[in-house]
Amino acid sequence: MDFNELKTPVYVIDESKLKKNLEILKDVQDKSGAKILLAQKAFSAYHTYPLISKYLTGTTSSGLFEAKLAYEEFGKDSEIHVFEPAFSDDEMQEVCDIADHLVFNSLSQLEHHRSIWEKKVTTNKLSVGLRVNPEFSTQEGHEIYDPCAPGSRLGIRAIDLPDKLPSKVEGLHFHTLCEQGFEPLYDTFKAFENKFEKYLKSGDIKWLNLGGGHHITRDYYDRDGLINLVKYIKDTYMVEVYLEPGEAIALDAGYLVTTVMDIVKTDRLPVLILDTSAACHMPDVLEMPYRPPLKDSGEIGDKKYGYRLSSRTCLAGDIIGDYSFDEEIKIGDRLIFEDMAIYSMVKNNTFNGMALPDIAVLKENGNCEVVKSFGYEDFKMRL
């Protein structure tokens, strides 16, 4: 099917752009010796897993459901890591059966579930680690995405760890970054090393996971810096090093295509009513908040015709942003939001009974394949 014939709204995953990111990540993997995992919380469009699994070591999951998806779709030889702030008693056995690496957020969770995970560790089928908090913030103005913010529940502080790690703990994990370059990682690692080095030197630790939030596939990212840091960690402490980016894997590798349904006059900019919604189909736009890139558009004033882009939902604040265009927009025009593969499909919802956008894959040969279509039943089944 041709891109222009797709029914809107539709997320379109761009396979060649995804591949370009994967090639960069594989190169970092090969040159540094790090193992790179897909953080499924950012991108779980599993139709692309056969492609992704050719390049990456495995996946990381936020709990049982993502872990099951990885187990079923990513390939049997890949690694499955799971971290959750608290695992439920009902799910722990199944998580342990699927995972090969499990990360606990507290000593009480570790001990609470010990009788289950320890059996798997004893048979070498599972390796268990602890998430720590280096207490080193590198983000400003984004407390919602800062696990090192004061009062954070994410990760154990150095002060709360015993001198010797609990028996059978083999790994340490930290995740503190969000959409960042190499320098904040370097500074964070130094803060981590300062506080937790005794554990790395103890000989008990076999792996260290540096979490996600690394924008490795951005042009500006200092990949040589990352490669050198990973080599330093491996050579100094003789541990396996993991990175678990989500965004970097599918950065700029997807679109959300929408149609203009109406144009409403207001006392300010005319408003385009679209068949998509920030609240339903790109919730990060409101949560973060940010103004998503839109193909062939500019800021207000850059181009002749300015509009506010909004939605057909009832939420007054369901506003995507203000944009300008060279040509006047007409009802029925199609607009293309860019960088819409990450934290979009995984976070959407059917508020107002809005239909979920279909999911299509733009193949390298230019053809589009619709891999998922949604309708009324998908709305009803959740209620």
Ligand X SMILES: Cc1ncc(COP(=O)(O)O)c(C=O)c1O
Pick the closer one to ligand X by CB: 230 or 248. 248
Q: By the 8 A CB rule, do 134 and 188 touch?
A: yes
Binding to ligand X (CB under 6 A) within 315-344 occurs at none
CB of 83 to ligand X, least distance (A): 5
CB of 114 to ligand X, least distance (A): 22
Where does residue 361 fall: left (phi above 0), alpha (psi -120 to 50 degrees), or beta otherwise?
beta
Binding to ligand X (CB under 6 A) within 233-252 occurs at 244-248
Pick the closer one to ligand X by CB: 135 or 275. 135
Judged by CB under 6 A, the residue of 101, 113, 175, 223 near ligand X is 175
Crossing angle between the packed helical segments 182-201 and 223-237, to the nearest 10 degrees = 0
Pick the closer one to ligand X by CB: 83 or 117. 83
Region of 39-47, 120-128, 263-271, 327-335 interacting with ligand X (CB under 6 A) = 39-47
Q: Fill in the per-residue mask, 47 to 86: x = in contact with ligand X (CB under 6 A), - = not in contact.
A: -------------x----------------------x---
Which of 120, 196, 123 has the alpha carbon at shortest distance from 155? 196
Pick the closer one to ligand X by CB: 81 or 120. 81
Give the DSSP H or E segment for 286: helix 284-287
Judged by CB under 6 A, the residue of 41, 81, 101, 281 near ligand X is 41
Give the tokens for residue 327. 């040509």
Give the tokens for residue 353. 């009974």
How far apart, in whole angstroms, are the C-alpha atoms of residue 378 and residue 383?
A: 9
CB of 42 to ligand X, least distance (A): 4
Which of 78, 112, 109, 80 has the alpha carbon at shortest distance from 95? 80
Q: Taking the mean position of all CA atoms in its chain, how far away is CA 122?
A: 32
CB of 63 to ligand X, least distance (A): 11
Give the tokens for residue 376. 């009324």
Pick the closer one to ligand X by CB: 134 or 212. 212
- Give me the residue label for tokens 């083999």: 170
How far apart, in whole angstroms, are the C-alpha atoms of residue 102 and residue 80?
A: 9
Q: Fill in the per-residue mask, 196 to 235: x = in contact with ligand X (CB under 6 A), - = not in contact.
A: ---------------xxx----------------------
User: What are residue 61's DSSP bridge partners?
Assistant: 82
Pick the closer one to ligand X by CB: 133 or 277. 133
Pick the closer one to ligand X by CB: 225 or 270. 225
Region of 38-46, 219-227, 254-262, 316-324 interacting with ligand X (CB under 6 A) = 38-46
How far apart, in whole angstroms, are the C-alpha atoms of residue 154 and residue 129?
A: 14
Cis-peptide, bond into residue 357, ω within 30° of zero: no
Pick the closer one to ligand X by CB: 75 or 85. 85
Judged by CB under 6 A, the residue of 10, 22, 39, 345 near ligand X is 39
Which of 293, 328, 356, 342 has the alpha carbon at shortest distance from 48? 342
Give residues in contact with ligand X (CB under 6 A). Answer: 39, 41-42, 60, 83, 175, 178, 211-213, 244-248
